[in-house]
Structure 1
Amino acid sequence: MSGNGPLIPEQRHQELLRLLRGSGVLSIRELTARLNVSHMTVRRDIAALEESGQVVSVQGGVRLADWTGNAPPRERATRAALEVPRKQVIAQAAAGLVEDGTVVYLDAGTTCQEVVPLLAARTNLTVVTNDFHAALALMALPSVHTIHTGGEADADSGSSSGPLAARTIEDLNIDLAFLSTGTWDLSHGVTSHSSEKVLLKRAVMASAASVALLADSTKWGGVERFTVTRLDALDTVVTDSGLPAEIIDSIAEQGPKVLRAE
């Protein structure tokens, strides 16, 4: 914002829209701080933009009306059929980060599972995962030593999490961790609906020398109740070309290297 005095309503509206284009979703509190105005003023601005069809109010905040980012279904079979081309190009880019003779963590999820067949060419690789589907697929690769975390099983996601799984991770030295998510944005980072999953993901980050988030553009802009990590704690973000350039730039400004798979 300019330091030349308060903005008129039209200028605030344009600034508010610019901020939303960079974040997808913003809270009322965040907007009052960024625009340096009162809660009442922000709410009036949102009401005006909502009336013109440019934004939509959400609980505690606002999002762009034409933004498609949302949390995917949590049931595994449904998610597996969604956005397959995006997942495949992300997996190709992620696999390029894997070096022979290293310990790699694959988080639960259909995007991370797409990485599995691409590891067949690696040698002396150890892959740790909490995903039952990925573990079964990894065991078919003779060049890969597979470790499953154990822990409390979740039938919907086909994975495990919780303190037992986290304890397994604490005994491992991971070179590269691939994290998955159903929701991420600029303000809240990576979020999850499950505190058990948060516990495991944070244990993985603490044990890993490098952390890469694999997340397609359709998941941008959604927020769940628990924060896993801010984006500035990630080393790499691997996504697809569906995110606008200004959002990619905003992510990179927070610190992680962004690989935008075409």
Structure 2
Amino acid sequence: MSRAPLIPEQRHQELLRLLRSSGLLSIRDLTARLNVSHMTVRRDIAALEKSGQVISVQGGVRLADWTGHAPPRERASRAALEMPRKRAIADRAARLVEDGMVVFLDAGTTCQSVVPFLAARSDLTVVTNDFHAVLALCDLPSVHTIHTGGEVDVSSGSSSGPLAARTIGALNIDLFFLSAGSWDLSHGVTSHSTEKVLLKHAVMEASSSVALLADSTKWGTVERFNVTALDRLDTIVTDEGMPSTVADRIAEEGPTVLRAD
């Protein structure tokens, strides 16, 4: 019994899977492995190249050098990764914060990096589900800090779930700094945890503006559960490792894209 033909999205994911295994494949190889025509492979490559995930070479295609790999989920393993990028993103993101705002810092090392850059703000309230961010905020006594509570995830040093989401229901948030371990053009922001997705959705509903903080190394990776499409974001703060052509394509979806030096 012959296998049913794949739809374009399935072919794209299979093409990326093959490239992650081989690094570089010829058009001939891909037509045989995907069991489609030469022109279909070229259309698929063009779509993936437009989103910045692959690069065409003579007679074939390879993964873009900067295409991301899902970072480790344990906080201790992630803490030291890509620190110059995180600091640059945090510095640029903090410029979106105005005096008197209520700001939500999502769990994660990039959002935690924003804390030192908030010292100059006045009458600021910061809400977070990240225990490490709370400890960092203790060095800024002028900032009113609220922790969401909720079910504790020891590996990430944060909390989430329905109890945390209920706390959000009592708040009016001006700016949500959303973190992401995985994001791409087709799927938007994704997560490995439904508990984290639940809280992120609650904060998005309570927020006037949403800014994604995500470095370019995480681009092109996908987790199981959807958080949000990119067109629901107001701003994306990333780094200069994100090619300008891809940043322009993301901006076509709606959000303002800021690339930190």
TM-score in terms of structure 1 length: 0.81
Question: 2:188 is matched with which residue?
Answer: 189
Whichever residue aligns with residue 45 of structure 2, its letter is L
Residue 245 of structure 1 and its aligned partner are, at CA, apart by: 1.6
Distance (Å, rounded) in 1 between the aligned partners of 2:40 and 2:244? 22
Distance (Å, rounded) in 1 between the aligned partners of 2:108 and 2:205? 20
1:18 to 2:46 alignment:
yes
1:246 to 2:245 alignment:
yes
Question: 1:58 is matched with which residue?
Answer: none
Give 1:46-61 correspondences, 5 Å limit: 54-55=61-62
Give 1:107-186 correspondences, 5 Å limit: 107-186=106-185
SS of structure 1 residue aligned to 2:145: strand
Please tell me whether the aligned partners of residues 22 and 186 of structure 1 are also in contact (alpha carbons under 8 angstroms): no
CA RMSD of aligned residues (A): 2.0
SS of structure 1 residue aligned to 2:211: strand
Whichever residue aligns with residue 220 of structure 1, its letter is W
Whichever residue aligns with residue 215 of structure 1, its letter is A
Residues 175-231 of structure 1: CA deviation (Å, up to 9, x unaligned): 000000100000000000000000000000000000000000000000000000000
Question: 2:33 is matched with which residue?
Answer: none
Question: 2:86 is matched with which residue?
Answer: 87
Structure 2: stretches of 5+ with no match in the other structure: 1-36
1:97 to 2:96 alignment:
yes
Residues 99-148 of structure 1: CA deviation (Å, up to 9, x unaligned): 00110000000000100011111100000000000011112202100000
Distance (Å, rounded) in 2 between the aligned partners of 1:124 and 1:68? 40
Distance (Å, rounded) in 1 between the aligned partners of 2:125 and 2:249? 34
Please tell me whether the aligned partners of residues 67 and 217 of structure 2 are also in contact (alpha carbons under 8 angstroms): yes
Distance (Å, rounded) in 2 between the aligned partners of 1:67 and 1:14? 21
Residues 53-91 of structure 1: CA deviation (Å, up to 9, x unaligned): 625xxxxxxxx3645312100010110110000001100
Give the total of aligned pairs.
223
Question: 1:261 is matched with which residue?
Answer: 260
TM-score in terms of structure 2 length: 0.81
Whichever residue aligns with residue 54 of structure 1, its letter is V
Please tell me whether the aligned partners of residues 24 and 67 of structure 1 are also in contact (alpha carbons under 8 angstroms): no
Residue 170 of structure 1 and its aligned partner are, at CA, apart by: 1.1
Distance (Å, rounded) in 2 between the aligned partners of 1:246 and 1:12? 23
Distance (Å, rounded) in 2 between the aligned partners of 1:91 and 1:74? 20
Give 1:62-81 correspondences, 5 Å limit: 64=63, 66=65, 68-81=67-80
Please tell me whether the aligned partners of residues 66 and 216 of structure 2 are also in contact (alpha carbons under 8 angstroms): no
Question: 2:228 is matched with which residue?
Answer: 229
Whichever residue aligns with residue 190 of structure 2, its letter is T
Distance (Å, rounded) in 1 between the aligned partners of 2:246 and 2:64? 17
SS of structure 2 residue aligned to 1:54: strand
Question: 2:31 is matched with which residue?
Answer: none
Structure 1: stretches of 5+ with no match in the other structure: 1-8, 27-48, 56-63
Sequence identity of aligned pairs in percent? 71
Question: 2:19 is matched with which residue?
Answer: none
